[in-house]
Amino acid sequence: MLSKKRYNKMVLTAVTVLLSALFISCASAKKAENNNPKQAEEQNKDSVEQFIPTHPPVVIPHSWRDI
């Protein structure tokens, strides 16, 4: 059985490793995006010029007092 102090150190180490890995991955993704801003802009564009809905909107009639 682990002592509370040792358990806390292990958890703190695990959290530190996970957060540093997350920070590194976010930093590298941001760096890659900054290198190719045109490519990132093209990915965000929709492929369709105008959206065509496939069904009419669903409207449920009720008053503001209904739950």
Can you give the pLDDT at residue 17?
Answer: 96
Q: What is the pTM of this model?
A: 0.45
Which of residues 59 and 20 earns the better pLDDT score?
20
DSSP string, the chain: ---HHHHHHHHHHHHHHHHHHHHHHHHHHHHHHHH-HHHHHHHHS-S-SS---SSPPP-----TT--
Can you give the pLDDT at residue 44?
Answer: 59
Which of residues 66 and 44 earns the better pLDDT score?
66
Each residue's pLDDT tens digit, 3-54 = 999 999 999 999 999 999 999 998 888 877 777 656 655 665 666 678 788 8
